[in-house]
Amino acid sequence: MTVSAHRRVLLTLAVAAAASTALAGCGRSSTPTAARPGRSPAPAASPYPRSSSTASPAVPMPDPTSVDGSNVDAVALMAVRALKQSDTAVDADPNDTARRAIGWLTPSFAGQVRSYPPIVAPGAEWNAWAAHRAWVEASTSLAGDDHPSDTATAAYRQVVAVVRPVGRDGWRGDPQRQVVFTTLAPVDGRWRLASAQPSSQ
């Protein structure tokens, strides 16, 4: 099974949040390759273009004020849902979705989203969705209570995300299930998503 566009972007952001010197989940680097003796420097890759669509999403992005910011579980569930809630009529790729979900992220994670846009096309799966002008129907649930104890500065949750693309032409894709390992941190008294690491399944 090929790695989905959503998982590639989350892997990229998870690695960037842990080590801001690298891009993960895409096949190229945004840094020009050093010239070898006798060869010209490789040209720098151009960032994949961001969406300029003015269309309205089929499902509005969840509002961070819609849940109790002191409730770790509620924030983790809704933040992952927000990251998964793509709409190909609005987003060029899942990174655009993450930009729309900035309000759910810590300043550091939000900075990674803004600073590390993908430099390659989102892939065959996304293109298939885009052909139907599909949006993603997303639901989330907690994977269980097996996680470290919450502290004043960090909390960890495993979130099960089930996503299903729904085309504006009536097409419906198969549902996909993924476990996302999340880290949350408090920002101004409210929990926010500090990282999201998708499982390899």
Could you tell me if residue 90 is inside a domain? yes
Could you tell me if residue 33 is inside a domain? no
Residue 172 DSSP code: B
Domain ranges, residue 106: 5-25+61-198
Structure confidence by residue, pLDDT tens digits, 8-20: 555 555 544 433 3
Rounded to two decimals, what is the model's pTM? Answer: 0.75
Could you tell me if residue 37 is inside a domain? no
pLDDT band at 98 (very low <50, low <70, confident <90, very high): very high
Euclidean distance between CA atoms 77 and 142, whole angstroms = 7
Question: Any idea what the CATH number is for the domain that residue 159 is in?
Answer: 3.10.450
Could you tell me if residue 154 is inside a domain? yes
Could you tell me if residue 30 is inside a domain? no
Q: Is the pLDDT of residue 3 over 50?
A: no
Structure confidence by residue, pLDDT tens digits, 31-67: 333 334 444 444 444 444 445 556 788 889 999 999 9
DSSP, collapsed to helix, strand or coil, labels residue 139 as: strand
Could you tell me if residue 49 is inside a domain? no
Could you tell me if residue 53 is inside a domain? no
What percent of the chain stands above pLDDT 70? Answer: 71
Could you tell me if residue 32 is inside a domain? no
Number of structural domains (the chain) is 1
Task: Work out the angle between the directed axes of helices 107-115 and 5-18 (0-180°, nearest 10).
Answer: 120
